[in-house]
Amino acid sequence: MSEGTIGGGDGRFPETRWSAVIAARSDDAVERRRALDLLIGAYWKPVYKYIRIHWNKTSDEAQDLTQEFFTRLIEKDFLDRYDPAQARPRTYLRVCVDGVVANESKAAGRLKRGGGAIHLSLDFSAAETEIRRVAPAPRQIASPASTASIDDWFEKEWIRSLFALSVETLREECEARGKKVHFRLFEIYDLDDAPNYRPSYEDLALEFGIGVTDVTNYLAFARREFRRVVLATLREMCANEEEFRREARAILGVDPR
Average pLDDT per 10 consecutive residues for the chain, totaling 257 residues: 34 49 82 88 94 92 93 79 83 91 67 57 89 61 57 90 95 97 96 81 97 98 96 88 88 82
Tell me, what's the pLDDT at 193?
A: 76
Annotated domain spans of the chain: 16-135, 144-257
Alpha carbons 29 and 10: distance in angstroms, whole number:
29
Phi, psi for 116 (deg, rounded to 5): -85, 70
Q: What is the pTM of this model?
A: 0.79
Determine contact, residues 40/120, Cβ cutoff 8 Å: yes
Tell me, what's the pLDDT at 1?
A: 35
- Tell me the CB-side half-sphere exposure of residue 34, using CA atoms within 13 A: 17
Alpha carbons 171 and 223: distance in angstroms, whole number:
12
Q: Which burial class, exposed, middle or buried, applies to 242 when counting CB atoms under 10 A from its CB (0-12, 13-18, 19+)?
A: exposed
Q: Which burial class, exposed, middle or buried, applies to 12 when counting CB atoms under 10 A from its CB (0-12, 13-18, 19+)?
A: exposed
Q: End-to-end CA distance of the chain, in Å?
A: 19
Give kind and range of the element (H or E) at residue 23.
helix 20-23
Tell me, what's the pLDDT at 145?
A: 43
Alpha carbons 3 and 12: distance in angstroms, whole number:
11
